[in-house]
Amino acid sequence: MIKNKFTTQVSQDLKNENFIGFKINHKILNRLGFFVLKKAFKKKTIDQYKFKFINNQRKQIIKKTKNHLVEVKIDKLSFFKKIYKDPQLKKIVKNFYNGNVGSDFFRIVKKDINNTKPVFCHQDTGYQFGSFNRYSLFISLTKSYNLNGGMTVYPSTHKFGYLGDAGEISKKITKNFIKICPSLESGDVLIMHSSLWHESEKNYKKIDRIYLEVHIQDADEPSTNFVISGKRNDVIKIPFDKNKVFSNSRVQRIVKLKNKIKKINI
């Protein structure tokens, strides 16, 4: 919310750190667009996921996505799909979407000694496929705080909804808003609405900041790939390749234009 123009409730929530707890407060999550759930996963579970990730990364079986600042795709490693059966995850999601909770993707988003760059302020909605009432669960596999590039959020900005394009939100706008970088321990989960504005600092400390991100949505969304809780009704499933929907989009036109320029310069 805009500095000095908070609603009383949002002000109180921020002042009293009501967004941190051992149980999700859905009212506060709805008001602020984020919530920090403490000790949601046992150390043993977190250690397993961290070990699998680090090990596979070292063997170069998985790598950071080219041209992406922090993403490592892990969907080919069946080990990580275990997360969807984990009672600890089921417990977290049980009060979303009347208990019928699905997921369209999961991935790692990380910073480390080789990958320290900051991430500009954006909302995820413009990069996603489907309806707008969805959340990311950032399961912290390490400590995460300002100096190692932890997630920074702009409280209540999800209320503005989809901003009509994807990319960096202007600093001329964001400078007027309060931002918070909650410190997380491994095993904590940052729950974030996909429309919430967020960014992250450079990893100044050069120590690992690793999140296992699980994206959740109503199980009945056409893009649901995994049902975490409850059931999926007999709903339409996407009958086409999500990545080949457009024959002439904004992004495609930019790519074409870039290629033209490249050719001219050769």
Q: Structure tokens of 227?
A: 């049902």
Give the interface segment with Fe ion, choosing from 23-31, 123-131, 230-238, 240-248 (CB under 5 A).
Answer: 123-131
Beta strands in 186-231 (DSSP E): 189-193, 198-200, 209-218, 226-229
**Judged by CB, which is closer to Fe ion: 27, or 75?**
75
Q: How far does the chain reach from its first CA to its final CA, in angstroms?
A: 48
Q: How far apart are CA 104 and CA 134, in angstroms?
A: 10
User: According to the binding rule CB under 5 A, does residue 199 interact with Fe ion?
Assistant: no
Give min distance, CB of 234 to Fe ion, in A: 32
Give min distance, CB of 181 to Fe ion, in A: 14
**Judged by CB, which is closer to Fe ion: 93, or 153?**
153
Question: What number of chain residues touch Fe ion (CB under 5 A)?
Answer: 1
Give min distance, CB of 127 to Fe ion, in A: 7
- Residue closest to Fe ion when measured from CB atoms: 124
β-strand partners of 109: 71, 211
Q: How far apart are CA 16 and CA 170, in angstroms?
A: 29
Give min distance, CB of 125 to Fe ion, in A: 10
What number of CA atoms fall less than 13 Å from residue 95's CA on the CB side? 8
**Judged by CB, which is closer to Fe ion: 165, or 234?**
165
Give min distance, CB of 141 to Fe ion, in A: 17
If phi over 0 gives left and psi between -120 and 50 gives alpha, with beta otherwise, what is residue 4? Answer: left
User: According to the binding rule CB under 5 A, does residue 213 interact with Fe ion?
Assistant: no
Residue list 33-72, contact with Fe ion (CB under 5 A): none
Q: How far apart are CA 152 and CA 119, in angstroms?
A: 10
Q: What is the DSSP string of 129-163?
A: -S-S--EEEEEESS-B-TTBT-EEE-TTGGGG---
* Strand-strand pairing, 71-72 and 101-111: antiparallel
* 3-state secondary structure at position 55: helix
Give min distance, CB of 213 to Fe ion, in A: 9
Q: Are 209 and 110 in contact (CB under 8 A)?
A: yes
User: According to the binding rule CB under 5 A, does residue 124 interact with Fe ion?
Assistant: yes
Give min distance, CB of 194 to Fe ion, in A: 8
Give the interface segment with Fe ion, choosing from 46-54, 56-64, 124-132, 157-165 (CB under 5 A).
Answer: 124-132
**Judged by CB, which is closer to Fe ion: 213, or 221?**
213
**Judged by CB, which is closer to Fe ion: 199, or 220?**
199
**Judged by CB, which is closer to Fe ion: 21, or 167?**
167
**Judged by CB, which is closer to Fe ion: 124, or 218?**
124
Binding site for Fe ion (CB under 5 A): 124
